[in-house]
Amino acid sequence: MQIIGLTGGIASGKSTVASLFNEAGVTVIDIDAVARSFLDAELGFLKERLPDAVEGNKINRKCVAQALFSDPAFRKDLERRLHPRIILKTVMKVLFSFFLLRNRIVIDVPLLFETGFEKWMSFTIVVVSGEQVQIERLMKRDGLDRSEACKRINTQMPLLAKVARATFTIQNDRNGQAFLKKQINDILTKTRPSLILNLAYWLLSLAALLIFFLITFRLLFTR
């Protein structure tokens, strides 16, 4: 199975690219979505560390996002609480995809290189766009002024540093989805596993499924 790491700068259009991979038939695991599912269980921590982010029993995600960019200590503490669970759930999703006989999955990871997560990937892709485009998207998407948008961009690893470490890049300025789809198809074509590797993968997957069902049958129906 190919595990593809997808990342990019803030407001570079990474989510759009991830959705196009999904349209192309590639399973996508969204780490941000996984993190959001665990954040709801951190009401107690947020009430203590960031009271303004809790309104009744609901989390003000915009307030949390602002704190993540402006308070390094808070970000570090929250990441320490969430990351082990995020990693475990991601591994479970990968294994589930394996049992479903998927031969490729994309893991959408905002902090792919910052966390060292890229070492688990078959190859990596960085979505890039011009800084002015990022600023405009951030201002429109999050309702920020130009100064705050620039501040958020500057808190992240420089995009050029990510590009230098990536296997492939996808350009996403204002060229439209047709151009994005072409770049995605080019990458999928270049990295298509050989027939022999595909056959070996399917045989291994079928063997794993058989072992899983045999163990399950024995546990459920034998004493």
Q: Mean pLDDT, the chain, as a whole number?
A: 87
For residue 146, the model assigns a pLDDT of: 93
For residue 140, the model assigns a pLDDT of: 92
Q: What are residue 143's phi and psi, to 5 degrees?
A: 65, 35
The neighbour count for residue 207, using CB atoms within 10 Å, is 10
pTM: 0.83
> What count of residues does the chain have?
223
Comparing 92-101, 142-151, 175-184, 198-207, the range with the smallest average pLDDT is: 198-207
157 versus 98: the higher-pLDDT residue is 157
Q: How far apart are CA 70 and CA 8, in angstroms?
A: 20
User: pLDDT tens digits, residue range 153-190?
Assistant: 998 899 999 999 999 999 998 778 899 999 999 999 99
Please name every residue paired with 55 in a beta bridge, in sequence order, or none if there are none. Answer: 58
* Measured CA distances, 85 to 39, 103, 186 (Å): 11, 25, 34
Q: Is residue 223's pLDDT more than 60?
A: no
User: pLDDT tens digits, residue range 46-78?
Assistant: 999 999 999 888 899 889 988 988 898 999 999
User: CATH number of the domain at 2-192, please?
Assistant: 3.40.50.300
H or E segment and range at residue 4? strand 2-8
For residue 190, the model assigns a pLDDT of: 93
Mark out the alpha helices in the chain (DSSP H runs): 14-23, 31-39, 43-49, 61-70, 72-99, 131-142, 146-154, 159-165, 177-190, 195-221
Q: What are residue 47's phi and psi, to 5 degrees?
A: -60, -35
User: pLDDT tens digits, residue range 101-128?
Assistant: 788 999 999 999 998 889 989 999 999 9
Q: Which residues contact 112 (CB under 8 A, 6 or more apart)?
A: 5, 6, 7, 118, 121, 124, 162
H or E segment and range at residue 123? strand 123-128
User: pLDDT tens digits, residue range 26-45?
Assistant: 999 999 999 988 998 898 99
User: Strands across the sheet with 27-30, in order?
Assistant: 27-30, 104-108, 2-8, 123-128, 168-171
